[in-house]
A and B are shown apart, each in its own frame.
Chain A
Amino acid sequence: MAYLEGNNLVAAYGPVPILHECSVEVEKGELAVIVGPNGAGKSTAMKVLLGMLEASSGSVIFDGQDITHLSTQERISLGLAFVPQTKNVFTSMTVQENLEMGGFLRDDDIKHTIQEVYDLFPILYEKRKQNAGELSGGQRQQVAFGRAMMTRPTVMLLDEPTAGVSPIVMDEIFSNILDLKNSGRAVLMVEQNAQQALNIADKGFVLVSGRNEHIGTGKELIADPEVRKKFLGG
Chain B
Amino acid sequence: MVSESVDIVNAFALLTNFVILPAIAYGSQLALGALAVTLVYSVLRFSNFAQGDSMAFGTMLVILLSGYLISRGWTITGIPTALLVIPVAIIGMAVYLLTMDRLIYRHYRKIKAKSITIVMTSIGVMFITGGIVRFVLGASAQRFEDGERFIFSVREFKAFTGLEQGIALKTSQFLTITIAVLLVAFVFYFLQKTKTGKAMRAYSDNKELALLSGINPDKVVQITWLLVAGLTTIAGALYGLDKGFAPQQYHLLLLPIFASVIVGGIGSPLGAIAGAFLIAFSEALLTYAYKKFLIYLLPLSMHPTSLVQLIGTEYKYAISFVILVIVLLIKPTGLFKGKVIVDE
Q: Which residues of A come within 8 Å of B, CB atoms?
A: 50, 72-73, 76-77, 82, 84, 87-93, 97, 100-102, 104-105, 147-148, 150-151
Residue of B nearest to A97 (CB): B198
24 examples of A-B residue contacts, CB within 8 angstroms: A72-B211, A73-B211, A73-B214, A73-B216, A76-B212, A76-B213, A77-B214, A84-B209, A89-B209, A90-B201, A90-B210, A92-B201, A92-B205, A93-B205, A97-B198, A97-B201, A97-B202, A100-B198, A101-B202, A104-B214, A147-B209, A147-B213, A148-B212, A150-B213
Question: B residues within 8 A CB of A148?
Answer: 212
Given contacts A90-B205, A91-B206, contact A104 B195 (CB under 8 A): yes
Q: Nearest Cβ distance between residue A85 and chain B, in whole angstroms?
A: 11
Q: Given contacts A97-B202, A104-B202, list 7 more A-B pairs with CB under 8 A.
A: A72-B212, A84-B208, A87-B206, A87-B209, A89-B209, A93-B201, A105-B214
Q: Which residue of B lies closest to A90 (CB)?
A: B205
Which residues in B have their C-beta under 8 angstroms from that of A77? 214
Tell me the smallest distance from the CB of A158 to a CB of chain B, in Å: 13
Separation of A84 and B212 alpha carbons in the complex (Å): 9
**A103 smallest CB distance to B (angstroms):** 8
Q: How far is the CB of B258 from chain A (nearest CB, A)?
A: 22
Main secondary structure of the interface of B (DSSP, over half): helix
Residue of A nearest to B214 (CB): A105
Would you give the 0/1 interface string for B183-216, flagging 1 where the beta carbon is closer than 8 Å to chain A?
A: 0000000000001001101100110111111111
Name the 9 nearest CB pairs between A and B, nearest first: A105-B214, A90-B205, A101-B202, A92-B205, A101-B213, A104-B213, A76-B214, A73-B214, A104-B214
Q: Given A50, A90, A97, A102, which contacts B206 in the complex, CB threshold below 8 Å?
A: A90
Cα A92 to Cα B339 in complex, Å, equals 10
Chain B residues within CB distance 8 Å of chain A: 195, 198-199, 201-202, 205-206, 208-216, 339
- B202 near A105: Cβ-Cβ < 8 Å: no
Q: List A contacts of B198 (CB < 8 A).
A: 93, 97, 100-101
In the bound complex, do residue B208 and residue A101 qualify as a contact, i.e. CB atoms below 8 Å apart? Answer: no
A147 cross-chain contacts in B, Cβ below 8 A: 209, 213
CA distance A151 to B213 in the complex (A): 8
Minimum CB distance partner of B196 in chain A: A104
Chain B residue nearest in CB terms to A88: B209
Q: Which residues of chain B are near A104, meaning CB under 8 Å?
A: 195, 199, 202, 213-215
Q: Are A102 and B208 in contact (CB under 8 A)?
A: no
Given the known interface contacts A84-B208, A87-B208, A91-B205, the answer about A101 and B199 at a Cβ–Cβ threshold of 8 Å is yes
Q: Cβ of A82: which chain B residues have Cβ within 8 Å of it?
A: 212
Complex CA gap A69/B103 in Å reads 28
Contact B211 A101 (CB under 8 A): no
Cβ-defined contact, A90 with B209, below 8 A:
yes
- For residue B328, give the distance in angstroms from its CB to the closest CB of chain A: 23
Q: Which of A90, A92, A97, A151 meets B214, CB within 8 Å?
A: A151
- Separation of A89 and B205 alpha carbons in the complex (Å): 9
In the complex, the chain A residue whose C-beta lies closest to that of B202 is: A101
Report A92 CB to chain B, min CB distance, Å.
5
Q: How far is the CA of A93 from the CA of B199 in the complex (A)?
A: 11
Complex: chain B residue closest to A76, CB-CB:
B214
Cβ-closest chain B residue relative to A133: B205
CB A86 to nearest CB in B, in angstroms, measures: 10
